[in-house]
Amino acid sequence: MADVLRLQGVRKRYGGGASPIVEVLHGIDLTLADGAFAALVGPSGSGKSTLLNLIGLLETPSEGEIWLAGQPAHAATEAQRTLWRNQYLGFIFQFHHLLGAFSAEENVLMPVLAGRGRIHADDRRRARLLLERTGLAAHAHKRPVQLSGGQQQRVAIVRALMNRPRLVLADEPTGNLDSRTAQEVFALLRELNRDEGTAFLIVTHDAGLAARCDRQVSLQDGRLVRDSARVA
């Protein structure tokens, strides 16, 4: 099985000039295989957000290498990072960030529009299929304000999968939901991981949800301190 993500000796520093240099990540080595379902855990200030920004090609490492879908992201131009971000990655956040002026289906199609500039009939068919699979077919033409919190997050999940990404980065995807809805959303992520073959890296403070992932990667003070597989 191929690796969708490989980090080697990744360090991230901020500051310089008149500001003191602060190193937030200290030599991270990490690989994720295609189809992985992993949790990224750690206390506040451990470096999770910085690591996610680096993997999401929103920042570049100060040292080390990041390979995404076989591409050398650490040495990429901004234009290449933008292209690969749309081509290989999907993003889910704690808050859904749906566009209120557009319907659920239109929100789902936004990554296609951003990447290609136009939408084909096949794109609309995939959007409708994903909405149907996630129980949202009857809500496809509703705007976000007409949907419940759980429904809005489901739309955000479908949007993340629209371009068939190799890896989805989910930053506290259940953190803004009640416990029952959070369980339903997590079950949906697991189902889509299996059915679509998409790898997931899920940042969560919920120890119960993290324990149900196939793998837990723990950060503390900018260092990877634990990397363990779930016992079946």
**pLDDT of the chain along its 232 residues, tens only?**
589 999 999 999 998 777 788 899 999 999 999 999 999 999 888 999 899 999 999 999 999 999 999 999 999 999 999 889 888 999 887 666 788 888 999 999 888 887 777 888 888 998 998 888 888 889 999 999 999 888 888 898 888 888 889 999 998 887 777 788 788 878 888 888 988 889 999 998 888 888 889 999 999 999 998 888 754 5
Count of structural domains within the chain: 1
170: burial class by Cβ within 10 Å (0-12, 13-18, 19+)?
buried
In 30-177, which ranges are continuous DSSP H helix?
48-55, 78-88, 104-108, 110-116, 121-133, 149-161
* Degrees, nearest 5: CA angle 166-141-149: 70
The whole-angstrom separation of Cα 132 and Cα 111 is 19
Sign (positive/negative) of CA torsion 51, 158, 142, 101? Answer: positive
Asked, for residue 122, whether it belongs to a domain, the answer is yes
Query: Hey, how many other C-beta atoms are within 10 angstroms of the C-beta on 229?
Result: 10
Give, as one character, the DSSP assignment of residue 231.
P
166: burial class by Cβ within 10 Å (0-12, 13-18, 19+)?
buried
So what's the pLDDT on residue 25? Answer: 94
Asked, for residue 8, whether it belongs to a domain, the answer is no
The whole-angstrom separation of Cα 72 and Cα 185 is 33
So what's the pLDDT on residue 231? Answer: 46
So what's the pLDDT on residue 29? Answer: 95
The whole-angstrom separation of Cα 163 and Cα 185 is 20
Q: What is the CATH number of the domain that holds 110?
A: 3.40.50.300
Asked, for residue 156, whether it belongs to a domain, the answer is yes
Asked, for residue 18, whether it belongs to a domain, the answer is no
The whole-angstrom separation of Cα 61 and Cα 63 is 5
Are the CB atoms for 214 and 38 separated by under 8 Å? yes
Asked, for residue 146, whether it belongs to a domain, the answer is yes
Asked, for residue 186, whether it belongs to a domain, the answer is yes
Asked, for residue 178, whether it belongs to a domain, the answer is yes
Asked, for residue 205, whether it belongs to a domain, the answer is yes
- Distances, alpha carbon 4 to alpha carbons 39, 66, 115, in Å: 16, 11, 20
Residue 212: domain span: 34-62+77-229
Coil, strand, or helix at residue 32? strand
